[in-house]
Amino acid sequence: MIIYQSIVIPFRLCFEKEAEGAWIYLETMIDICFMLDIFVQFNTGFYQQGKLINNRREIIINYTKSWFLIDLVASFPYNWVVQEPGPDAPQGAGGERDLS
C-alpha cells in the first residue's frame, strides 16, 4: 500500500488526475487501513532494554512520543476533507469560484 501511494500520489498531483471507478474504492480502503494501523499501534507492545512492555499506558506513552504524530499526519485522509471545485462550480463576481 505504501508503494502504491508513493507512486499514485505524485502522479495525481502532477497530472491533476482524480481517481475514477474502482480506484476510488481501492484508495478509500488504503486510507482506512492506514488509519486502522494507528489503533493497532496503541495495542502493540514494544521492547525497552530487552524487556517486552505490554502495559497499555506505557504503550500509549511510548507511541505518542515516537511515531504517533507522523502516522497521524501521514494517514489523514485529506481528499475526504479538502475537495477541489470542479469545472462546473459556480463562479464568483470576480471570476473566482464560490466555495460556499
Query: Residue 9's pLDDT is what?
Result: 87
Model confidence, pTM: 0.71
Residue range of the domain that includes 17 = 2-78
**Residue 27 is assigned to a structural domain of this protein:** yes
**Residue 33 is assigned to a structural domain of this protein:** yes
**Residue 55 is assigned to a structural domain of this protein:** yes
Query: Residue 63's pLDDT is what?
Result: 97
Residues 41, 75 contacting (CB under 8 angstroms): no
Could you give the number of structural domains in the chain? 1
**Residue 40 is assigned to a structural domain of this protein:** yes
**Residue 24 is assigned to a structural domain of this protein:** yes
pLDDT, block means (10 residues), the chain with 100 residues? 91 90 93 95 96 97 96 88 65 54
**Residue 87 is assigned to a structural domain of this protein:** no
The 3 state secondary structure assigned to 44-77 is: CCEEECCEEECCHHHHHHHHHHCCHHHHHHHHCC
